[in-house]
A and B are shown apart, each in its own frame.
Chain A
């Protein structure tokens, strides 16, 4: 009896594990209402809610929730409430493709996310086949290369981020000795290609081009090589945590050159990982430099703070804009689905937190970023 009980305890542990795993899995329960004219409007929010990229997922979800709550409080769309169904892709393209099959079968008529370009690219063909419009937070030029009429971006691509950055570094500051550290993931590769393309258009060749793996945590070799080249600035193309580790280790190794990069370098996770003192004078290209840019950003930041008790940042703002564009398109199209909804998104002109959105055939709706530097632990616009 005792043995049976204890064996049951093991089975219980595994059962708990399964339950826990299920807690991180798609919460969509029933498969009714695929764009019916009654009941809530189901929107899938797909992002990493676990794993190393979960900070992105958490911010994205908060931005989308804030927008949905605003619309629901104002009566919803055509009298119907918006229901966000949260799916955890774990930042993994394989998990993403599995989820893509569930999106339409579980009654969702559109998708917000993901923040990881590789996951979005993996999901895109299935979503296109199922005619599910998707507003992603990814920024890789690879998203445009997919050429899906159902795929839209809620921000600029890396090409815009890095062209703005190179314009500042090379044209304005006159830097010629530029080193690079990028990772070999979809984001890092997109950044690498976009940055080198902008450099080569100005006939500048990087003096060091170090590529690290997405899982790498020790960068002595790459950073010592860069230190020996004595660069004027170091371009960084990696996600928040890894960027923070690279900057922290670089300063420990005596690398004094400023770093420059795109969106991840302006986030709280990056600042905390690198240590605020190590981040001084880092140059950032971002479409959302701070919560204090305009009346709209201040209002958004206040609502975000009230709802989640934390300061808003770029990813939450992007997701908020993406959700607002989707809900506006749903309203304008009287809750259309499939291709009609995709066309409605493309036709939507929206004045958002990141700027004025007007989508073209590539699915990109905005083409500008601004340059800021980190000063006293805060991202401040360069005049």
Chain B
């Protein structure tokens, strides 16, 4: 029982990170109908920015994360701006463009920070809580709380603000949205910026858990993408549930199947997707291809 609970808690922490990554994927997809393959690399850039502001410039961790979110938000705007002319015209080139941006970002990270990577010290150096033999790291609680707050804020933005409502409208029918005077390009740019900001948040939070290196975006991106698909691509609640589910699933398969855990994780993922192709929440917001 102790192993079961500990495994579950361990999976939740990384699952929260996957959920943040998945939300970025879904937000861009629901707005533009585009899978942003550069997203994992934006996570990595965010992690490096946070580690630089936090370790090198000795800024408080929270401030480092906020600045990194703003900087990566700008990167998101740049990516969208370059891809904008292709929207509704050449979907394939847009996809390839995001892959290209991903490679460029990884190469830039190697040029700026080197290939070796860096460890980030825990910003919450408090001993883990011990509840009936179950150890809960305080930093895991911080990660889960921040991920939950980010989710609530995103939901409020999409549902309660004019700009958020405009983005929802673009997601539902971009032609109708244009007809009523909504600037589709601006909505897309905001989606990219928020998605990139979430990526930086995920990258910043995962730094002290893992190790920041130019290659870290690969596995985080794949797991986050799988989480988004599992939850229902384009659905924000789906991204959260899907991300957490992938994290917990990964943790349990690691315990039971050891060296074959990745295989089993993605086998389970494939079976779920075969049974329910639209994911848990079954949302398929847009398809403009």
Interface residues of chain A, those whose CB is within 8 Å of chain B, are 2-3, 6-7, 9-10, 13-14, 16-17, 20-21, 23-24, 49-52, 54-55, 57-58, 183-184, 210-213, 215-222, 224-225, 228, 241, 244-245, 249, 252-254, 269, 272-273, 275
Contact = CB atoms under 8 A, between A and B. Distances in A.
B255 A213 contact: no
A16 B128 contact: no
Interface in B235-281: 247, 250-252, 254-256, 258-259, 261-262
A57 B114 CA distance: 12
Q: Which 3 A-B pairs have the closest CB atoms?
A: A221-B255, A220-B10, A20-B107
Contacts of A13: 82, 97, 100-101, 104
The B interface, classified by DSSP as helix, strand, loop or mixed, is: helix
Nearest to B133: A254
Q: Which of B7, B213, B214, B259 has the most CB of A within 10 A?
A: B259
B107 A224 contact: no
22 contacts: A6-B85, A10-B97, A13-B82, A13-B101, A17-B99, A17-B104, A17-B107, A20-B103, A20-B106, A20-B107, A49-B115, A50-B215, A184-B258, A212-B259, A213-B262, A220-B7, A221-B251, A221-B255, A225-B255, A252-B135, A253-B6, A254-B128
Given A17-B103, A57-B115, A52 B213 contact: yes
B128 A245 contact: no
B254 A218 contact: yes
A348 B108 CA distance: 43
Contact of A213 (B93, B101, B247, B259): B259
A24 B259 CA distance: 30
B45 interface: no
Contacts of B100: 10, 13-14, 16-17
Interface string B62-88: 000000000000000000001111100
Contacts, number: 160
Contacts of B102: 17
Given A23-B107, A54-B213, A215-B219, A220 B261 contact: no
Nearest to B216: A52
B255 A7 contact: no
Contacts of B84: 6
A272 B135 contact: no
B86 A10 contact: yes
A14 B259 contact: no
B109 to A, nearest CB: 10
A58 B116 contact: yes
A55 B11 contact: no
B269 to A, nearest CB: 15
Contact of B251 (A2, A57, A183, A220): A220
A24 B82 contact: no
A241 B115 contact: no
Nearest to A91: B215
A58 B113 CA distance: 13
Contacts of B183: none
